[in-house]
Amino acid sequence: MADLRINLAGIKSPNPFWLASAPPTNSGYQVQRAFEAGWGGAVWKTLGDPILNVSSRFAALSFNGQRVAGFNNIELITDRPLDVNLKEIYETKKKFPNHAIIASLMVEPKQEKWHEIVKRVEDVGVDGLELNFGCPHGMAERGMGAASGQVPALVEKQTYWVKEVAKTPVIVKLTPNITDITATAEAACNGGADAISLINTINSLMGVDLDTWNTIPHVAGKGAHGGYCGPAVKPIALNMVAECARHPNVNVPISGIGGISNWKDAVEFMLMGATGVQVCTAAMHHGFRIVEDMIEGLSNYLDSKGIASVSDIVGKSVPKYSDWGDLDLNYNIVARINTDVCINCNKCHIACEDTSHQCIDMLTDANGKSYLKVREEDCVGCNLCSIVCPVDGAIDMIEVPRELPPMTWNERQAALNGSLTCNVDVTN
Ligand SMILES: Cc1cc2nc3c(=O)[nH]c(=O)nc-3n(C[C@H](O)[C@H](O)[C@H](O)COP(=O)(O)O)c2cc1C
């Protein structure tokens, strides 16, 4: 059986599955039950100065029958006293010395505030710290969370303050509510971060009630933007992880977060550079026991590939992720419809005819039976027909022999004018 242990910047854990800082890690009772269920680590619900929460707090997006395809919250950091949390962290660590407990922290952007809280949480034996520069609501209005996390200079400064006193590894948790996440990732590295974690939640408004015209959720008839997470955010999170992983100045381990619901999602994040992963929404939706399937699935996957340790897959797909300008312009695929499997629903024809390249013909065979055929010479290989097709195996995307040698846009431009820039005149 493959070795599932990870070591993220010095934080050791029996497997790569951690619970993210959120309601599932709100108390010692919960974290201990999570460890018993199999979770390798837990990032405690963010600690800081006392706050007040509102009711209600959550809303979810159901899509085509799938409950909780996306999840939204307007909850703040822990509403339990710091002393109580610290006592429970101490007890939990004593009971589970080999599991990772990371204290998530959020305080005002003041040096003495960071020094004070770091000392207090390290005194109770945490394995690491995670600085929450990501919470998009409530705390941001007070200069904390995303308000700090959107300004690279503040990320760097506060990370530096923490590193002045921290004895355990420091993970900086990044907000996705920013144009270029590598800017804040780099700032965290410059401040001395030992690792980064991403993503926190995305600014969102879940909906509006058509009868009352209230926002969803609302608090006594008023709403405020919340933080979006769950399966719907996975592609956004995966891209951000990949962008950080391939950035030359972001050279610390990554803890991947965002829409991870099963072992396959976790493997994708690890292939794209994450040393381990964190999960919130999936645990809130299905409970702690999902980790059993995650461990078993990951273990079987590694065994089936003959991979001895989960660490061996970290970052393996990063070299395959690049800029558009590095893609081969002369690589071609086309759609091919398998008439044996096709049910003639015409969805591919409609999609291609109305919104793509009008290259799927409706034909009739000698017996008068209609069928669909792709005019391959006109197909651009966009994938749309295979995406809308409801039947597995009815449409294959096939690589066609190339007529020209590989050439990227960047190579083409360099050959044309010795420059990698596009030289588009935007003044006209
Ligand atoms: C209700 C709720 C509360 C959260 N509270 C915190 C928090 O206190 N600190 C923090 O860093 N992230 C918090 N998060 C964000 C999660 O840790 C995580 O980054 C995010 O939910 C994305 O992961 P997911 O798609 O697996 O849910 C919270 C998320 C939810 C849904």
Atom in ligand 1 nearest the alpha carbon of residue 20? 17
- Rounded CA-CA distance 385/394 in Å is 10
| Catalytic residue (one of 135, 189, 348, 389) | 135
pLDDT computed for residue 356 by the predictor:
96
Cβ contacts of residue 158 below 8 Å, gap of 6+? 109, 114, 131, 133, 148, 191
> For 300-330, how does the pLDDT look when each residue is reduced to its tens digit (9 = 90+)?
999 999 999 999 999 999 999 999 999 999 9
CA of 399 to the centre of ligand 1 (A): 41
> For 350-378, how does the pLDDT look when each residue is reduced to its tens digit (9 = 90+)?
999 999 999 999 999 999 999 999 999 99
With the C-alpha atoms ordered 245, 251, 257, 262, is the resulting torsion angle positive or negative? positive
CA of 425 to the centre of ligand 1 (A): 44
Asked if residue 21 has its Cβ within 6 Å of ligand 1, the reply is yes
Atom in ligand 1 nearest the alpha carbon of residue 231? 25
Q: How many CA atoms lie within 13 A of 294 on its CB side?
A: 31
Q: Is 70 exceeded by the pLDDT of residue 418?
A: no
- Rounded CA-CA distance 306/1 in Å is 10
* Residue closest to 98 by CA, chosen among 60, 128, 127: 127
* Residue closest to 279 by CA, chosen among 314, 243, 313, 230: 230
- Cite the beta strand spans of 304-356 per DSSP E: 333-337
pTM, two decimals, is: 0.95
Cβ contacts of residue 343 below 8 Å, gap of 6+? 390, 391, 394
- Rounded CA-CA distance 131/192 in Å is 12
Q: Do β-strands 226-229 and 202-204 pair in parallel, antiparallel, or remain unpaired?
A: antiparallel
Do the beta carbons of residue 267 and residue 15 sit within 8 Å?
no
> For 155-202, how does the pLDDT look when each residue is reduced to its tens digit (9 = 90+)?
999 999 999 999 999 999 999 999 999 999 999 999 999 999 999 999
The arithmetic mean of pLDDT across residues 409-421, rounded, is 82
CA of 23 to the centre of ligand 1 (A): 8
- Rounded CA-CA distance 371/365 in Å is 7
Query: Ligand 1 atom 1: the closest Cα is on which residue?
Result: 73
- Rounded CA-CA distance 329/420 in Å is 15
Do the beta carbons of residue 76 and residue 51 sit within 8 Å?
yes
Cβ contacts of residue 369 below 8 Å, gap of 6+? none
The arithmetic mean of pLDDT across residues 384-392, rounded, is 98
**Backbone φ, ψ for residue 203 (5° rounding):** -50, 135
pLDDT computed for residue 134 by the predictor:
80
Chain mean position to CA 38? 22
> For 23-70, how does the pLDDT look when each residue is reduced to its tens digit (9 = 90+)?
999 999 999 999 999 999 999 999 998 888 999 999 999 999 999 999
pLDDT computed for residue 420 by the predictor:
55
- Rounded CA-CA distance 97/159 in Å is 27
CA of 281 to the centre of ligand 1 (A): 8
Atom in ligand 1 nearest the alpha carbon of residue 230? 25
Atom in ligand 1 nearest the alpha carbon of residue 279? 26
pLDDT computed for residue 204 by the predictor:
96
pLDDT computed for residue 428 by the predictor:
43
Residue 118 in 3-state DSSP?
Answer: helix
Asked if residue 22 has its Cβ within 6 Å of ligand 1, the reply is yes
The arithmetic mean of pLDDT across residues 67-78, rounded, is 95
CA of 361 to the centre of ligand 1 (A): 48
Asked if residue 134 has its Cβ within 6 Å of ligand 1, the reply is yes
> For 104-144, how does the pLDDT look when each residue is reduced to its tens digit (9 = 90+)?
999 999 999 999 999 999 999 999 999 999 866 766 667 77
Cis previous bond, 62, omega within 30:
no
pLDDT computed for residue 425 by the predictor:
52
CA distances from 199 to 53, 272, 335, 352, 423 (A): 22, 14, 35, 35, 35
Cis previous bond, 199, omega within 30:
yes
Mean model confidence pLDDT for the chain: 95
- Cite the beta strand spans of 51-119 per DSSP E: 58-63, 66-73, 100-105
User: What does the H/E/C string look like for 149-190?
Assistant: HCCHHHHHHHHHHHHHHCCCCEEEECCCCCCCHHHHHHHHHH
Asked if residue 279 has its Cβ within 6 Å of ligand 1, the reply is yes
Band (426; pLDDT cuts 50, 70, 90)? very low
Query: Ligand 1 atom 14: the closest Cα is on which residue?
Result: 22
In this predicted structure, which of 5-14, 357-366, 389-398, 418-427 has the lowest mean pLDDT?
418-427
189 is catalytic: no
CA distances from 203 to 137, 160, 180, 191, 272 (A): 8, 27, 15, 26, 24
Query: Ligand 1 atom 29: the closest Cα is on which residue?
Result: 22
pLDDT computed for residue 136 by the predictor:
67
> For 252-295, how does the pLDDT look when each residue is reduced to its tens digit (9 = 90+)?
999 999 999 999 999 999 999 999 999 999 999 999 999 999 99
Asked if residue 23 has its Cβ within 6 Å of ligand 1, the reply is yes
Asked if residue 229 has its Cβ within 6 Å of ligand 1, the reply is yes
pLDDT computed for residue 139 by the predictor:
67
- Tokens for 386, please give them: 């295979």
Band (417; pLDDT cuts 50, 70, 90)? confident
Asked if residue 313 has its Cβ within 6 Å of ligand 1, the reply is no
Atom in ligand 1 nearest the alpha carbon of residue 229? 25
Radius of gyration over every alpha carbon of the chain, rounded to an integer in angstroms: 25
Band (419; pLDDT cuts 50, 70, 90)? low
CA of 99 to the centre of ligand 1 (A): 20
